[in-house]
Every structure is written in C-alpha cells, then in structure tokens.
Amino acid sequence: MLVVAAAVVERGGRVMLCQRLPDAHNGLKWEFPGGKLEAGETPEAALARELREELDIDVAVGHICDAVLHRYPDRDVLVLFYSCTLMSGEPTAVQCNAIAWADPADMPGYDFAGADRVFVERHYSGQL
C-alpha cells in the first residue's frame, strides 16, 4: 500500500488545489498537494518536503484532518490529510500542471483524483 501525505491549505476562504502532470498516475486530475512518504520519513516531514519540491513553499504542518483509504484499479493508497498554514513563498507550479485557489462552492467543477474526491465529499459536502 502506498502512503501519501496531503496538505489542506486555506487562504481567504479558498482552498489550494493542484492539478497533476499529464503523464502522472491520475494525470490532469485535481488533488490536495503532497506526496509519497520516503523510507523512514514521517508524514509531516514528507509533506513539508513535497511542498518545497513541488510548489516552492514552506508550510507549518498542523493536525491530521482525515485519512482516506482508496482503491484505484492498479493500487491501494492511504492518504493522510493535514491542515497546513502557508508560512513563506507563493505557490508555483514547479512539479504540477496548475494551481488553483478554489472556493469550496466551486469544487464540483474540479475533476478530483479518487481519494481527494472522498475527502471533498466528507469535508465540503455542505458546499457541494
């Protein structure tokens, strides 16, 4: 099973989303930014590293919001969602296709990867 840490970053009532690269697993799907844990790495450390690498930002990783186990046709993924605060930098699409600051009411228009869709349905369902 693949373990992934994902960031829930809110600013001004909007939520930061990233669009996956076209050639990636779930290419061009929208997701909460983050990535896979490396051997011996905590989810919090992995999340901070991934956001530096992929978006050129530093975040303070807060509490875990949710955990979603999702079965894709080719793999099982456990995504750990953390509340994060943007500490420095402005998100730049270094290793993703695009970045959006989404109004939760607009989230139905985004084509989310499976685990991220589950998280959105659980936490933003009042706006969907």
- Whether the pLDDT of residue 126 is over 90: the answer is no
Q: Does domain 2-123 have CATH number 3.30.160.40?
A: no
What's the pLDDT tens digit per position in 12-59? 999 999 999 999 889 999 999 999 999 999 999 999 999 999 999 999
The Cα–Cα gap between 75 and 56 comes to: 28
The Cα–Cα gap between 13 and 4 comes to: 25
What's the pLDDT tens digit per position in 75-124? 999 999 999 999 999 999 999 999 999 999 999 889 999 999 999 999 98
Host H or E run for residue 98: strand 98-102
Beta bridge partners of 66: 81
Domain ranges of the chain: 2-123
- Whether the pLDDT of residue 128 is over 80: the answer is no
For the entire predicted model, the pTM comes to: 0.94
